[in-house]
């Protein structure tokens, strides 16, 4: 049994990132406001803390406040110096191979994003520039795989789910893996881990040796949702909006399991995009599913969507309860339609360039008290505009639940106030109350105090 809680050691990469420039090393070690050190330390700690049951960035950083990481060069080869790292990342004094890979994915993505920020793309709109940036980050990470038919299914769902729901996510992943489908999730525990775990078994049975388990995160959430050990492609996007765009550009279909505010945010994001008239003819299979007993959960979610975005929005997804085989078949058939469409329109299989994402969905939303209170939650706007604002409201709740700046803002100024028309506030209140009652807001649900207050106007 491991008795020591912390380990200090040196780590070198195995296959890639063998050298960095002195400027890049300085960026990672620069603790000033312009440097990357704070993000580097936080993301590295999240990777080393795999398997943690803490879902608060603040609690993780407090627990490992003595952790430090420095980067050095030995004969021009990169070496990471770890001080007081979580002992769970090591076996017999050696760092676990998958965690080593994830550590250097952090270095790769933070440096690349840092070097790309502020670059001007002549002749393109701000929205097009964002889409290009997402593509470049994914390509740099090796996630763009040309000449492979659409087979990547994005799985969204809660990190705070019970064993019954977790086992069902594994069954769905298993059935999709039997059909040769690969998995992409937010990289954390719960419904993000289960589909990957199921797919590893079916991929082994089918002798698929290059199965993909893609985890896409961002610095604000990664410490609260440490990458699960099955992820073999970890990608860290600069912010939540680019993370969401990476999911829908890289993935070919989406399966959504039960979850809390973060899962509802993701559902609103994809629905808002699909509601835009420029996307009406694009096939994009979307399935909501859960085990027996989740009927009430999906009825609440469905009523919320119907009450706020209308009947047309509910026609864009299919709800399947307790039938993992049907979920996998529906997704396989949906991906066949995606393949036919992209062939007919000469679209790439590996990146969904044709999907139109309005600029409102791409602008980073900072969940301050002022911004949360200023959200327009009224019916005098298009469905996709309302979806965007509702998405921001839920993003703020996620920040108040698990992200360090959000938690600190709540401690200093009290709960976020969310204001809107009663016709929108009532179904939102019903949805959020159900998440609290079903213990979907946090893993340590017994200590949960709502970080929001709804104010009908």
Q: How far is CA 120 from CA 56, 130, 171, 242, in A?
A: 36, 11, 45, 17
Tell me what pLDDT residue 119 has: 62
pLDDT digits (tens), the chain, 457 positions: 344 588 899 888 766 565 677 777 777 777 666 668 888 888 899 899 887 666 677 778 788 889 999 887 765 567 889 999 999 899 988 999 999 999 989 988 988 887 666 565 677 788 999 999 999 999 999 999 888 899 999 999 998 889 999 999 999 999 999 999 999 999 999 999 999 999 999 999 999 999 999 999 998 888 778 899 999 999 999 999 999 999 999 999 999 999 999 999 999 999 999 999 999 999 999 999 999 999 999 999 999 999 999 999 999 999 999 999 999 999 999 999 999 999 999 999 999 999 999 999 999 999 999 999 999 999 999 999 999 999 999 999 999 988 888 889 999 999 999 999 999 999 999 999 999 988 888 766 566 789 999 999 8
Tell me what pLDDT residue 3 has: 45
Residues 6 or more apart whose Cβ sits within 8 Å of residue 121: 128, 129, 132
pTM for the model: 0.91
Q: How far apart are CA 407 and CA 187, in angstroms?
A: 22
| HEC assignment per residue over 239-265 | CHHHHHHHHHHHCCEEEECCCCHHHHH
| HEC assignment per residue over the chain | CCCCCEEEEEECCCCCCCCCCHHHHHHHHCCCCCCCHHHHHHHHHHHHCCCCCCCCHHHHHHHCCCCEEEEEEECCEEEEEEEEEEHHHEECCEECHHHHHHHHHHHHHHHHHHHHCCCCCCCCCHHHHHHHHHHHHHHHCCCCCCCCCCCEEEEECCCCCCHHHHHHHHHHHHHHHHCCCEEEECCCCHHHCHHHHHHHHHHHHCCCCCCCEEEEECHHHHCCCCCCCCCCEEEECCCHHHHHHHHHHHCCEEEECCCCHHHHHHHHHHHHHHHCHHHCCCCCCEEEEECCCCHHHHHHHHHHHHHHCCHHHHCCCEEEECCHHHHHHHHHHHHHHHHHHHHHCCCCCCCCCCCCCCHHHCCCCCCCHHHHHCCCCCCCCCHHHHHHHHHHHHHHHHHHHHCHHHHHHHHHHCCEEEEECHHHHHHHHHHHHHHHHCCCCCCCHHHCCCCEEEEEC
Domain boundaries along the sequence of the chain: 6-116, 133-457
Fold category of 6-116 in CATH? MCP/YpsA-like (3.30.1850)
- Assigned token pair, 357: 């994402």
Phi, psi torsion values for 180, nearest 5 degrees: 80, 15
Contact assessment for residue 400 and residue 435, using Cβ atoms and an 8 Å cutoff: no
Tell me what pLDDT residue 404 has: 83
Tell me what pLDDT residue 446 has: 63
Considering the domain delimited by 133-457, tell me its CATH architecture: 3-Layer(aba) Sandwich (3.40)
Tell me what pLDDT residue 2 has: 42
The CA-based dihedral angle spanning residues 141, 149, 249, 156, taken in that order and rounded to the nearest 10 degrees: -90
Phi, psi torsion values for 379, nearest 5 degrees: -85, -5
Contact assessment for residue 48 and residue 9, using Cβ atoms and an 8 Å cutoff: no
Tell me what pLDDT residue 445 has: 59
Residues 6 or more apart whose Cβ sits within 8 Å of residue 127: 357, 358, 359, 362
Q: How far apart are CA 105 and CA 215, in angstroms?
A: 11
């Amino acid at each position: 049994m491991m008795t020591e809680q912390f380990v200090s050691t040196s780590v070198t990469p195995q296959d890639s990132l063998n050298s960095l420039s002195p400027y890049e090393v300085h960026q990672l070690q620069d603790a000033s406001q312009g440097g990357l050190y704070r993000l580097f330390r936080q993301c590295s700690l999240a990777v080393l803390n795999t398997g943690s049951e803490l879902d608060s960035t603040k609690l993780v950083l407090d627990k490992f406040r003595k952790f430090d990481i420095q980067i050095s060069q030995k004969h021009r080869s990169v070496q990471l110096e770890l001080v007081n790292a979580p002992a769970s990342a090591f076996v017999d004094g050696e760092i676990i191979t998958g965690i080593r890979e994830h550590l250097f994915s952090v270095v790769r993505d933070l440096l690349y994003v840092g070097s790309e920020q502020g670059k001007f793309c002549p002749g393109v709109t701000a929205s097009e520039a964002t889409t290009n940036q997402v593509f470049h980050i994914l390509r740099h990470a090796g996630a763009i795989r040309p000449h492979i038919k659409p087979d990547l299914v994005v799985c969204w769902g809660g990190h705070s789910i019970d064993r019954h729901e977790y086992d069902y996510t594994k069954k769905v992943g298993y059935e999709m893996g039997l059909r040769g489908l690969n998995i992409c999730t937010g990289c954390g525990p719960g419904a993000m881990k289960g589909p990957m775990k199921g797919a590893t078994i079916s991929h082994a049975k089918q002798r698929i040796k290059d199965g993909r388990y893609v985890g896409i995160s961002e610095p604000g959430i990664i410490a609260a949702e440490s990458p699960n050990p099955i992820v073999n492609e970890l990608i860290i996007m600069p912010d939540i909006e680019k993370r969401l765009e990476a999911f829908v550009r890289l993935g070919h279909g989406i399966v959504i399991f039960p979850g809390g505010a973060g899962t509802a945010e993701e559902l609103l994001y994809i629905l808002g995009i699909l509601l835009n008239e420029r996307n009406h003819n694009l096939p994009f299979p979307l399935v909501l599913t859960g085990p027996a007993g989740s009927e009430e959960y999906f009825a609440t979610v469905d009523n919320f969507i119907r009450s706020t975005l209308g009947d047309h929005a509910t026609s864009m997804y299919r709800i399947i309860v307790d039938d993992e085989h049907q979920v996998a078949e529906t997704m396989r058939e949906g991906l066949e339609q995606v393949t036919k469409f992209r062939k007919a329109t000469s679209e790439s299989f590996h990146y969904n360039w044709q999907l139109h994402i309005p600029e409102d969905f791409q602008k980073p939303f900072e969940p301050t008290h002022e911004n949360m209170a200023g959200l327009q939650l009224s019916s005098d706007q298009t469905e996709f505009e309302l979806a965007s604002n509702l998405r921001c409201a839920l993003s703020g709740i996620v920040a108040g639940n698990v992200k360090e700046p959000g938690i600190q803002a709540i401690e200093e100024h009290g709960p976020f106030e969310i204001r809107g028309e009663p016709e929108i506030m009532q179904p939102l209140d019903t949805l959020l109350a159900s998440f609290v009652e079903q213990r979907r807001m946090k893993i340590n649900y017994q200590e949960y105090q709502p970080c929001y207050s709804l104010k009908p106007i």
